[in-house]
Amino acid sequence: MLKIEHLSKTYRTGTNEYPVLKDLSFQVKKGEFVAVMGPSGSGKTTLLNCISCFIPHDSGKIILGGKDISGMSEKGLANVRNEKLGFVFQDFMLLDGLTVYENICLPQVIAAKPAAQMEAKASKFCEAFGIGKIRDKYPAEISGGEKQRTAVARAMMNDPYVVLADEPTGNLDSRSCRAVIDSFLQAKAQMGATVFMVTHDSYAASFCDRVIVLRDGVIYDELTRRGGRKEFMDELLGVLRELGGDLDDAE
């Protein structure tokens, strides 16, 4: 569903060069829930920004649904971002002047989908993600966990190839964090969602099928969950201890 081939990215300031991603290759299969972790400066946020084409990469390919999106026009990329990619951000990025229900509808409004189809789907998602009772409230009136579940529902509205999640549990307490992770798991189980999540939260990552650990722009390790969540978390923490440093640092 998502394939990264020999991706490289270097930031340049004057005569100085700072390689951030170094010939990175991996793939995410349809229906997988994959996390990316790594210490500050490892390249995880840059990777997410390159995949979404918010920033250009220097070389390599980003193949989404079998198509290389690297060289697309800005108009083409705008369509990809609205219809083929879903986004969940740490700061929710909900529109304050729209209700929960209206925020969820937004991707289909932009895509000019039929109103009856849009409304039926949004109503279905409100119930599926446990936010039916707050559908007519505004973002300022709901909790952080409810905001993020609204964001997950919105991200799924156009049946994207991949949902890109940037630290989706970073501003949440443990209870809200679990509710958001459950929303991803539900989207995966019931809707076949493919989720690619950047996180520093080992608890959230332990629910994933696979965790890619970055260090200095390359893949340091890749862990696949084969047993229970707690065992996977222990394995993950062991790798993170090997890395050292403070994984809670912002990149």
Residue 248 has what pLDDT?
47
Residue the block writes with tokens 């279905």? 124
Across-strand partners of 160?
none
Q: For the chain, 251 residues long, give each residue's pLDDT as a single digit of tens.
A: 899 999 999 999 988 999 999 999 999 999 999 999 998 889 999 999 999 989 999 999 999 999 999 888 888 888 898 889 999 988 889 999 999 999 999 999 998 999 999 999 999 999 999 999 999 999 999 999 999 999 999 999 999 999 999 999 988 888 889 989 999 999 999 999 999 999 999 999 999 999 999 999 999 999 999 989 999 999 999 999 988 744 544 34
Go through 132-167 and write b for each residue having 16 or more CB atoms within 10 A of its CB, e for each that does not: eebbeebbeebebbbbbbbbbbbbbbbebbbbbbbb
Burial class (CB in 10 A: 0-12, 13-18, 19+), 107: buried
**CA–CA distances in Å: residue 135 to residues 23, 89, 90, 176, 205:** 44, 20, 21, 18, 29
Residue 173 has what pLDDT?
87
**Residue 153 three-state SS:** helix
Nearest to 142 by CA among 96, 90, 110, 204: 96
**Residue 179 three-state SS:** helix
Residue 71 has what pLDDT?
81
Residue 174 has what pLDDT?
86
Residue 91 has what pLDDT?
87
Across-strand partners of 112?
none
Residue 250 has what pLDDT?
39
Across-strand partners of 219?
214
**How many angstroms separate the CA atoms of 20 and 137, rounded?**
42
Residue 94 has what pLDDT?
95
Residue 14 has what pLDDT?
87
Residue 168 has what pLDDT?
92
Residue 185 has what pLDDT?
94
Residue 79 has what pLDDT?
87
